Structure 1
Amino acid sequence: MGGINRRELGHGALAEKALRPVIPKDFPFTIRVTAEVLESNGSSSMASACGGSLALMDAGVPISSAVAGVAVGLISKANPEKAAEIQDYRLLTDILGIEDYLGDMDFKLAGTNKGITALQADVKIPGLPLKVVMEAIQQATVAKREILGIMNKCIAKPRATRKENGPVVENIRVPVSKRARFVGVTINQVDEETFSVFAPTPGAMNEAQEFIGDLCKDDQEQQLEFGAIYTATITEIRDIGVMVKLYPNMSAVLLHNSQLDHKRIKHPSALGFEVGQQIQVKYFGRDPTDGRMRLSRKVLQSPAATVVKTLSEKQSISMGSSNGHTNSTDL
């Protein structure tokens, strides 16, 4: 028990390097492999690589192949005439801690059945002949294959489905007209109509899909024609405008105050609107940014008639406030 030391960091980095090449580059999740090594006897890093490979397969991570590792040690006798040369030696496969401590080399090799993914050598003598290095690689390769055979008896390939506590990412199609409803929902946009949804578990993903399905259901939306005039029903009065429906089964759409009339108004009540009232509106397609419907009542109102009505109201006020005299004005 204690803090992480330099040796543990190095072994962890080696095990990570051994496993990284078999993980798909497009895997959408962050992976954390934890190896709880209770005793350091020989190569704990290679044991971590083997256990990490099994854990990744068990978790459903689609690694391309199983990875195993082994350590090879060296006991040598120096040449009495040339101290830098080896006179006799023995290579030891899967060394113990004492062999590592008293030996002349700690050579680690990890990889798949097809090749090597990580190598590390701790050489404690002045140098090694190439012949010894080649023999160490050959001996480690044989041991690696034997270990892979044992591992494959436990689990030979990644699980087809992840466990219930595994995270899930799926892509869904969202109509452009529904994008505005996703404010506050944790999703990532892939393209104009495709979104990537993350959930911590498959159960949560199912709930998210149901929620998104409710948001994106068609609402029996009719095919609207650009520039056509429709009869809309007011469903709600707001400070900034009125909510209207073009069809009973469609979602309500905001008709802003600026599109209600040519006159500038601060509240829809200025025009005498009430919930349930029907008004004529013109359809101008959808906003390219958020997909909202663009409706206008203002374009159907005659600006000239509004001016005439305003002048008429002013005239009536003037006629009624002239000390009983009646003024007439031709418009």
Structure 2
Amino acid sequence: GDMDFKVAGTRDGVTAFQLDVKTGGISPDLMRQAMTQARTARLAILDQMETALPKPRPSLSPYAPCLDVIRINPEKIGAIIGPGGRVIRKLQEDTGTEIDIADDGTVKVVGDSADAVALARQAIEELTAEVEVGMVFNAKVVRIAPFGAFVELRPGADALVHISNLADGYVKKVEDVVQLGDEVTVEVIETDESGRVRCKVVQEKPKLKVGDIISGQVTNIVDYGVFVEISPGVRGLVHKSRLGTQSEPSAVAKKGDRMLVEILEIEEQGRYKLRRVVPAGSSDEDSRASQDYTPRPGPTDLGSGTVRA
């Protein structure tokens, strides 16, 4: 009753102890006796523990509570918290974790499982990553100006899509392409030292296949044929033998004309071979006659004969 002595440790030695005494002190012999008894008890407890769990698990159970510590640039704290704490609240709700952020940029994430914490960590890293040229975002249009649209790449990170980068062709008004609240896929094309970001709208290219008939735009005319753009940035060649006319390519079309073409072949290198298609009822009789003409086999030697009256 004169002392309270608690000892913790392993087979190799003592790791911690606590001693409370009610007298003026204890003798070395009493301390030695207490330590010996504590070791005997400790080894007995460890023997029982090893029968249940001989060695530590190689990894934590995915359902074990987990803590992860992330260090971010303190300037990025606002991106995680969001306006009025909206972003961090949603992040905690979506992942089922608790997130604590210190002023020095230390972020502690606590969750019921390793998967939940990993999901939260991934979201935090995405929110705080530096925006770089070439990155693609699913962005929301948050403001429209006469010269372009401002989009939110992620909470706290806005970018400008200039009117010239809203579509491949000419755009007269921003509202002709996007409206406030629209979601668009954008690619970062420029950043500056002030943190300003410029983007362009990523146009989804249609999947082209052999047999497709497309109205394209003539982009170039050469001696051996006509080049036609069949999709933004995708051009193919209509060889002069597939123009459907005996006329020279320069007599069939001029740069900027629309031409109906069929995809005949798509080479491994991505080159497209095309043929001109003349719609039924077209006034281009020479073209239609040439397209419809099929050579017929016939004798190569006419021989000789007698003309009779």
TMscore range, shorter length = 0.3 to 0.5
- TM-score where L is the length of structure 2: 0.33
Higher RCO, 1 or 2 (CA under 8 Å, sep at least 6)? 1
Higher percent of residues as strand: 2
Higher percent of residues as helix: 1
